[in-house]
Structure 1
Amino acid sequence: MKLYNIIGLILLVVSCNSKPGQEEPLQNNQDYTGPIIDMHMHAENDNTLPPDKLGLCIPLSNLVPHFDPKEAYADVWTNTLKNPNCKNPIWSSTTFEDYSSRVQKQLTKFNVIPVVSGSESVLRQWAIKFGDKIIPSIEFNLERDNLSADSLKSIINKQNIKVFGEISNQYAGIAPNDPRMDDYYAMAEALDIPVAIHLGTGAPGSPYMFSPDYVAAYSNPLLLEEVLKKYPRLRISVMHYGEPFIDEMITMMYHYPQIYVDLGGIQWAYPSEYFYEFHLKKMIAAGFGKRIMFGSDTFIWPELLEESITIINNAEFLTKEQKADIFYNNAARFLRLDK
């Protein structure tokens, strides 16, 4: 075949595969810049902020790279936060005024509406400070909070609480399917209020510091199966996506399509390469990109919000549409927000 015939054939094939008006495919590695719903922010005040400034280096998993148990872990942990070993640590505030000002700057800079979890008294303070710029969520722990389901229901109705969580029973050694939670799950189902439950990683060394009863095995999302069979109309957000039980989380999302997950700080708890490859990419590949919600797990360090947003935007395997779902669309659907 003559050269000009070969060239003509190539041009014909190319033109046949290029349809007029065909949209270019969504390019990866584009930052999402629209509004964000943060499903996982903690409300702090003067009573919960540390008296001394503490510096955080991420990833959290490497904060104490090695430990000899001849020392007291709590001392090592505290000393590490007081003397952070990185170039640009995030420092905590020691007053609510400074802390709330930094939170406001983060929310404004990135156009974020956070689901803020705290006690009744702290949420009242945040309501005064932030007004309708936050979505209030009532925290709960069976061992810590002496509240009946009826008392909790009264608070939810009176304070116009929108989410029941963070339920942090894991830190008290209480499994998510513990029958003592039945009345509370039934209350949430009756009120049609979404539930946010902690399943996953706490601070490294938690059992040796502030949570001696913490049970890592209670992160397993399979423990929610009994709950969802009893209360099939519950809307559940699994905070920290049940990390590290990623396969169990995927099978629960497969069988119980009302389950959503939030990323809840795991993106900065581990190196990004690990988080991307073995967690986020796996849930996306399994087909559950419409049920993954952004969560920063911001608490005494407000700039964790910015760090969390950057890590998701830097995920090159995500399309801009997938980022929009994670940052906003999925949470808006889960919370049933007005358009």
Structure 2
Amino acid sequence: MCETGEAVLGDKDDDGYLTEFRDRLGLPGIIDVHTHFMPEPVMRKVWAYFDSAGPLTARAWPIAYRADEQVRLKTLRGFGVRAFSALVYPHKPEMAAWLNEWTAEFAARTPDCLHTATFYPEPDAGSYVAAAIQRGAQLFKVHIQVGGFDPGDPLLDPAWGLVQDAGIPVVIHCGSGPVAGEFTGPAPIAALLRRFPRLRLIVAHMGAPEYTEFFDLAERYPDIRFDTTMTFTDFFEEVDPFPDAERDRLRFLGDRILFGSDFPNIPYTYGHAVSALERLELGDEWLRKVCYHNAADLFGIE
């Protein structure tokens, strides 16, 4: 149940199922590249937006793990998550640098969290991205849908150049789900990659609903990866089902797919996010790579 009393979807007991899953596959834990930790006032505003079923969600979206920060951390660790992210994203100018200060402090006091940063098209984007890299940022987050900006905006050129040269991965929400934006979809990303072909983009939500088009891009750019966030769950399958015709490419791209959950902002149990991958029946080795080893290799986690 979520805090508001609404039922959440999912058919798996989180603790029991996830323990059995990790033990059966011989995994030391799960690495989740798509989790959200933010300054509390920002997180509460995000939850209020989901509660209102705002235009970027377009449907009821109860928050399954609505709790204070320390409770959320304890919950995530209790699931056996060994490393995770603190994805933040600005929706207006003069917000990203402040968020980066917070995430740097959060990473310093949360050693199992990947040091995450973000950016937005504004004149000082290059300077605060350089500062974040100098402070040890391991991952960036870019949200094209919420930010409402073209990833090819010239104001972002310094930031993209710095991130590319540093080889730091970027989780980027660029697909048109759950609601399309002016700059979502594969075309703006294809244009970006023509200028910055070595970017290590992690396409959030597998690029939903443009799965095929983003897979096509991945065949041209070997540094493109995907996260599984919300994909394959009942909640996503109702609206943006993954195409059966692309199942073979899930196997082919198995070394470039990383587990993501969107915790805590999911309307189902954490266990359901994992069991949704199991029911694809792509094999234990695929699951080991997706749920742990691919991210461990990318971020140097032993």
For normalisation by structure 2, the TM-score amounts to 0.73
Match of 1:163 in 2: 139
Q: Give the whole-Å Cα distance in 1 for the aligned partners of 2:176 and 2:37.
A: 19
Q: 1:293 aligns with which of 233, 258, 279?
A: 258
Match of 1:105 in 2: 75
Q: Give the whole-Å Cα distance in 2 for the aligned partners of 1:312 and 1:91.
A: 20
Taking the TM superposition and a 5 Å limit, the aligned residue runs for 1:324-335 are 324-335=288-299
Match of 1:92 in 2: 66
One-letter code aligned to 1:140: F
Q: Give the whole-Å Cα distance in 1 for the aligned partners of 2:158 and 2:108.
A: 31
Any unmatched runs of 5+ in structure 2? 1-22, 89-98
Match of 2:43 in 1: 49
Q: How far off is 1:307 after superposition?
A: 3.1
Q: How far off is 1:249 after superposition?
A: 1.3
**Residue 281 in structure 1 maps to residue 276 in structure 2:** no
**Residue 150 in structure 1 maps to residue 120 in structure 2:** no
Q: Give the whole-Å Cα distance in 2 for the aligned partners of 1:186 and 1:224.
A: 15
Match of 1:257 in 2: 222
Is the Cα–Cα contact under 8 Å of residues 72 and 264 in structure 2 kept in the other structure?
no
Q: How far off is 1:148 after superposition?
A: 2.5
Describe the shift of the 1:291–1:108 C-alpha distance in structure 2 as closer, same or farther (beyond 3 A): same
Q: How far off is 1:203 after superposition?
A: 5.0
Q: 1:120 aligns with which of 73, 94, 100?
A: 100
For normalisation by structure 1, the TM-score amounts to 0.66
Match of 1:219 in 2: 184
String of CA shifts for 1:173-213, please: whole Å, max 9, x gaps: 32333333211111112222222221125556xx8xxxxxx
One-letter code aligned to 1:198: H
**Residue 140 in structure 1 maps to residue 119 in structure 2:** yes
One-letter code aligned to 1:323: L
Is the Cα–Cα contact under 8 Å of residues 141 and 169 in structure 1 kept in the other structure?
no
Describe the shift of the 1:247–1:116 C-alpha distance in structure 2 as closer, same or farther (beyond 3 A): same
Aligned residues: 267
Q: How far off is 1:40 after superposition?
A: 0.9
Q: Give the whole-Å Cα distance in 1 for the aligned partners of 2:237 and 2:267.
A: 20
String of CA shifts for 1:93-146, please: whole Å, max 9, x gaps: 3xxxx343233222233233112223224324533552x111121123327xx7
Percent of aligned pairs with the same residue? 21
Match of 2:174 in 1: 199
Taking the TM superposition and a 5 Å limit, the aligned residue runs for 1:232-247 are 232-247=197-212
When structure 1 is superposed on structure 2, of 270-279 and 178-187 the one drifting more is: 270-279
Describe the shift of the 1:129–1:252 C-alpha distance in structure 2 as closer, same or farther (beyond 3 A): same
Q: How far off is 1:251 after superposition?
A: 1.2
Q: Give the whole-Å Cα distance in 1 for the aligned partners of 2:268 and 2:107.
A: 21
Is the Cα–Cα contact under 8 Å of residues 195 and 236 in structure 1 kept in the other structure?
yes
Q: Give the whole-Å Cα distance in 2 for the aligned partners of 1:311 and 1:125.
A: 34
Any unmatched runs of 5+ in structure 1? 1-29, 58-62, 65-72, 208-213
**Secondary structure of 2:44's partner?**
coil
Q: 1:231 aligns with which of 196, 221, 225?
A: 196
Q: Give the whole-Å Cα distance in 2 for the aligned partners of 1:247 and 1:110.
A: 32
Larger Rg: 1
**Residue 309 in structure 1 maps to residue 288 in structure 2:** no
**Secondary structure of 1:237's partner?**
strand
**Secondary structure of 1:117's partner?**
coil
Q: How far off is 1:51 after superposition?
A: 7.7
Is the Cα–Cα contact under 8 Å of residues 170 and 176 in structure 1 kept in the other structure?
no
One-letter code aligned to 1:182: D
What value does the CA root-mean-square deviation take over the aligned residues? 3.6
**Secondary structure of 2:260's partner?**
coil
Q: Give the whole-Å Cα distance in 1 for the aligned partners of 2:155 and 2:245.
A: 31
